[in-house]
């Protein structure tokens, strides 16, 4: 891979977009490599993924403006599809994806972060949807995901004004869950990922599915999705072990890792 680095640390997979010279901007190759990297993650071993950018300046400074500038309509559609395929893959990835935003998250950078389950950032992070200043609309789901995350009023303000916001404001409006120093960011992401990875994997996957699918439905239908995924857990060994462990009054016992089955 030219621009994406993958590392597995125990049950945590770390995907790093590494195109520092262009502030990790998303060109076609980066999008293709991200797609292939997520496809290759070993879901029998990995229970949580971290997505981050290389360096200390930028997470992802957007889609590659140089590449986009000369696209024809057909090429623009093909480029858009490549991006949307990756973003949807991350959003619907069976296990949680934490985005560790270590600097600029602009345009497609903010959008890829929003397709992750959880966002945390460094104190130098900058977020924005500058597309209308370039003569386009946010095209990788920005108009949809930002409005769902921070509410339509704030999303419209950010998108119409194309004004960037800093980490503290992103935290205030709920775009990120926490802010760390650069040094603390990746360890914090790894700690959170390890905490997720030690919980019952099928239950965690079902929670992700229930939240994602339920958000698109009216409440009466959403709770039906939840009921089904709740019921499915009772066919797992993890549920039997987890509840038996709680009910066993022997204080000496040590909890075994969940088996993912
Ligand atoms: N694309 C390409 N190269 C980029 C880039 C980008 N988005 N952002 C930065 N770079 C490159 C710069 O050109 C520069 O390259 P060299 O000149 O060194 O070769 C290098 O990274 C360092 O950048 P700067 O010299 O500009 O660094 P500064 O610290 O001065 O400024 C900055 C940092 C992040 C404020 C600035 O680079 C900047 O404003 N970058 C552009 C940010 C931006 O507007 N991003 C949004 C892009 S639009 C679609 C779906 C989605 C999209 C499009 C279509 N379809 C469905 C079809 C998404 C669109 C976007 O993301």
pLDDT digit string, tens, across residues 33-88: 999 999 999 999 999 999 999 999 999 999 999 999 999 999 988 998 999 999 99
Query: Is pLDDT at 174 greater than 90 in this prediction?
Result: yes
User: Which atom of ligand 1 is nearest to 77's Cα?
Assistant: 57
Tell me how far the alpha carbon of residue 106 lies from the centroid of ligand 1, in angstroms: 8
Report residue 165's pLDDT band, with 50, 70 and 90 as the boundaries: very high
Q: Inform me whether the pLDDT recorded for 260 exceeds 90.
A: no
Q: Left if phi > 0, otherwise alpha if psi is -120 to 50, otherwise beta: which for 107?
A: left
pLDDT mean over 138-150: 94
Q: Give the model's pLDDT for residue 134.
A: 94
Atom of ligand 1 nearest to the CA of 81: 56
Residue length of the chain: 261
Nearest CA to ligand 1 atom 54: 139
Ligand 1 center to 66 CA (angstroms): 8
Average pLDDT taken over every residue of the chain:
96
**Whole-structure pTM over 0.95, yes or no?**
yes
Closest residue to atom 34 of ligand 1, CA basis: 61
For ligand 1, pick from 54, 55, 62 the residue to mutate: most ligand atoms within 8 Å of CB: 62
pLDDT category of residue 220 using cuts at 50, 70 and 90: very high
Catalytic residues: 111, 131
- Three-class secondary structure of residue 97 per DSSP: strand
What local confidence, expressed as pLDDT, does residue 261 receive?
A: 84
Instruction: Give the model confidence (pLDDT) of 84-122 as tens digits.
Output: 999 999 999 999 999 999 999 999 999 999 999 999 999
Question: What does the pLDDT average to over 211-228?
Answer: 97
DSSP letter (8 states) at residue 56:
S
**Ligand 1 pocket list (CB less than 6 A):** 22-23, 25, 61-66, 68, 76, 79-80, 83, 104, 106-108, 130-131, 134, 136, 139-140
Tokens of 149: 């995350």
Pocket mutation for ligand 1, best pick of 28, 65, 127 (most atoms within 8 Å of C-beta): 65
Q: Distance between CA 233 and CA 243 in Å, rounded?
A: 12
Q: How far is the CA of 151 from the centre of ligand 1 (A)?
A: 26
pLDDT (0 to 100) of residue 259: 86
Tokens 């704030």, residue located? 154
Whether the Cβ atoms of residue 107 and residue 63 lie closer than 8 Å to each other: yes
pLDDT reported for residue 249: 87
Q: H or E segment at 101?
A: strand 97-101
Look at ligand 1, atom 55, and give the residue with the nearest C-alpha: 80
- Nearest to residue 157, comparing CAs of 194, 128, 181? 128
The tokens describing 7, both together, are: 């590392």
Q: Among 214, 76, 184, 188, which residue's Cα sits nearest to residue 135?
A: 76
The residue whose C-alpha atom lies closest to atom 13 belonging to ligand 1 is 22
């Amino acid at each position: 891979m030219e621009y994406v680095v993958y590392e597995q640390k125990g049950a945590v997979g770390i995907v790093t977009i590494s195109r520092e010279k262009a502030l990790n901007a998303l060109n076609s190759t980066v999008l293709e490599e991200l797609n292939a990297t997520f496809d290759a993650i070993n879901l029998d071993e990995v229970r949580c993924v971290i997505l981050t950018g290389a360096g200390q300046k930028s997470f992802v400074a957007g889609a590659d403006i140089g590449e986009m500038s000369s696209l024809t309509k057909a090429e623009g559609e093909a480029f858009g599809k490549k991006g949307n395929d990756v973003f949807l893959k991350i959003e619907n990835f069976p296990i949680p994806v934490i985005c560790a935003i270590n600097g600029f998250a602009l345009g497609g950078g903010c959008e890829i972060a929003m397709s992750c389950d959880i966002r945390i950032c460094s104190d130098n992070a900058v977020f924005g949807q500058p597309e209308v200043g370039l003569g386009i609309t946010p095209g990788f789901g920005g108009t949809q995901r930002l409005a769902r995350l921070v509410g339509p009023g704030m999303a419209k303000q950010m998108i119409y004004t194309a004004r960037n916001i800093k980490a503290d404001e992103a935290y205030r409006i709920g775009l990120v869950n926490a802010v760390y120093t650069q040094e603390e960011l990746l360890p914090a992401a790894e700690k959170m990922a390890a905490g997720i990875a030690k919980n019952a994997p099928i239950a965690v996957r079902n929670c992700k599915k229930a939240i994602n699918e339920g958000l698109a439905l009216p409440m009466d239908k959403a709770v039906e999705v939840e009921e089904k995924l709740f019921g499915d857990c009772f066919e797992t060994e993890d549920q039997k072990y987890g509840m038996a462990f709680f009910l066993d009054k022997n204080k000496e016992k040590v909890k075994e890792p969940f088996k993912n089955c």
